[in-house]
Amino acid sequence: MSEIVAPSPIIPDFGDEEPIINQPPSDPADDVTFITNNNSNGSLSGTNGRDSIEGLGGNDSIKGKRGEDTLLGGEDDDTASGGRDDDWVDGGDGNDELRGGRGSDTIFGGEDDDTADGGRDDDWVDGEDGNDELRGDRGSDTLRGGEGDDTLFGGRDNDLLRGEEGDDIVSGGRGFDNVRGGAGNDTVSGGRGDDFVVGEEGNDLVSGDRGNDTVLGGAGDDTVDGGRGDDLIVGGGGNDLLEGGRGADIFRFEFFESETFIADGTDMSGLDTLNNFVPGDSGVDTLTDFAPGEDKIQLGAGSFDELIGSGGTFNPDEFTTLDEFAQNPDANLVYDSDQGFMYYINENNDAIKFLELDSNLDITGDDFEII
C-alpha cells in the first residue's frame, strides 16, 4: 500500500450569465435634453425630465435631477450624481466620484481609481479599470470590481458581489449575499445574514462572518473561517486552513468530477447556482477547531464509496483510530491520533491523506456523514 495525493483541482465554472442592465437613450427623442460642457471645469445640472449630460474634458460636477438620465463624465476627475429615477452614469477617464441616487441605476467607473455608490434601489455598479471603491448601499445590488485591487461593500439587502481581477476586499454587508473573490489573493466575507461566500482563484482569506453561511475556498491555498452560526465549509483545491468558528459546523470533502451546488436562501435569479464545482478535490486541508460530537465531517458518496453501508449511510465499522498509522488497517477511514492525520483507503488499497486535525481527538463514527 502506498500513500498518494488527491487528484488535481477542477476550477469552478460560474458561466457568463449576467443581469440585464439599463441602457442609455440611443435615439434623440423629443423628451431628452442634451447638455454638453466645453472641455473646461464646469458644473452641469439637468432638468426634471430625461437628460443626456456629457462633461467632456475638465473636472466636472454633473447632477441629473429627476428623470431617466445619462451622465458621461468624460476625461479628468469628475463628480456625477444621477438623482431620482433609473440613471446611467459613466465616469470615463480620471478618478471619479459617482452616485446613483434613487432608482435602479447603472454605474461604470471607467479607467483609473473611482469611487461609486449605487444609492437606493437595485443597482448595477462596475468599477472597470483601476483600484476602485464600490458600495451598493440600499437595495439588492450587483457589484463588479473589474481590473485592479478593489474594495466592494454590498450594504443592505441581498447583493451579488465579485472582485474579479486583482487582490480585492469584498464584503456582503447585511442580507443574504452572494460574495465571490475572483482572480487574485482576495479577502472575502459574507457579513450579516445567511451568505454564500467563495474565494475562487488565488490564495484567499474567506469568512462567513455572522449567520448560517456556505463558505468555499475555491482554487488555491485558502484560509476559510465559518464565523458565527452553523456553517457549511469547503476548502476546495489546494492546501487549505479550515476553521468553523462558533456554532455546529459541517466540513465537506469530495473528490468526484462534478456537482451542481445551490446556495439556499439567496434568490438572485439563478445566480446562486454553482455549476461543475468540485469541493475538496485536491491537496491536504487543515481543520483547526473540529469539535467531535458537535461538528460534522461530510464525505461524498461518489468519492468515499468504500465507506458506504446499508441504505447509503456511513458504515461506522469502516472508521478506526490508530495511535500510529500502519499498513493494511482494518478500516477504510483512519484517524492517526498521534499525528492528527485523516486517511482514506480506496479500492486500490492506496492511503489518501486528505485532512489534518488536532491530535488525540475523541472522534467516533458518529462524527461522519455520507452525502
Instruction: Express each pLDDT in 75-99 by its tens digit.
Output: 889 999 988 889 999 999 999 999 9
Residue 39 has what pLDDT?
A: 65
DSSP output for 135-170: E--SSS-EEE--SSS-EEE--SSS-EEE--SSS-EE
d(CA 235, CA 60): 47
Q: Tell me the mean pLDDT in the region 2-25.
A: 40
Selection from 236, 265, 367 nearest residue 314 by Cα: 367
Out of 49-53, 244-248, 340-344, pick the least confident: 49-53
Q: For 176, what's the count of Cα atoms within 13 Å in the CB-facing half-sphere? A: 11
Is 220 within 8 Å of 198 (Cβ atoms)? no
In this predicted structure, the answer to whether residue 261 has a pLDDT above a threshold of 70 is no
Residue 282 has what pLDDT?
A: 52
Q: Tell me the mean pLDDT in the region 111-119.
A: 94
Out of 58-72, 246-260, 286-300, 305-319, pick the least confident: 246-260
Per-residue pLDDT reduced to its tens digit, 209-218: 999 999 999 9
d(CA 102, CA 99): 9
State the DSSP code for 17: -
Better-predicted residue by pLDDT, 276 or 130: 130
* Biggest CA-to-CA distance, the chain: 83
Percent of the chain having pLDDT more than 70?
Answer: 81
Better-predicted residue by pLDDT, 47 or 18: 47
d(CA 170, CA 136): 12
Residue 123 has what pLDDT?
A: 93
Q: How confident is the model at residue 172 (pLDDT cuts 50, 70, 90)?
A: very high
Q: 279: how many CB neighbours lie within 10 A of its CB?
A: 25
Out of 23-37, 123-137, 152-166, 268-282, pick the least confident: 268-282
d(CA 280, CA 72): 46
Phi, psi values for residue 308, rounded to 5°:
-85, 130
- What is the pairing mode between strands 351-356 and 341-345? antiparallel
pTM: 0.79
In this predicted structure, the answer to whether residue 28 has a pLDDT above a threshold of 80 is no
Residue 31 has what pLDDT?
A: 66
Residue 273 has what pLDDT?
A: 26
Per-residue pLDDT reduced to its tens digit, 187-198: 999 999 999 999
d(CA 119, CA 101): 5
- What is the pairing mode between strands 341-345 and 333-336? antiparallel
Is 127 within 8 Å of 134 (Cβ atoms)? yes
Distance in Å from the first CA to the final CA of the chain: 27
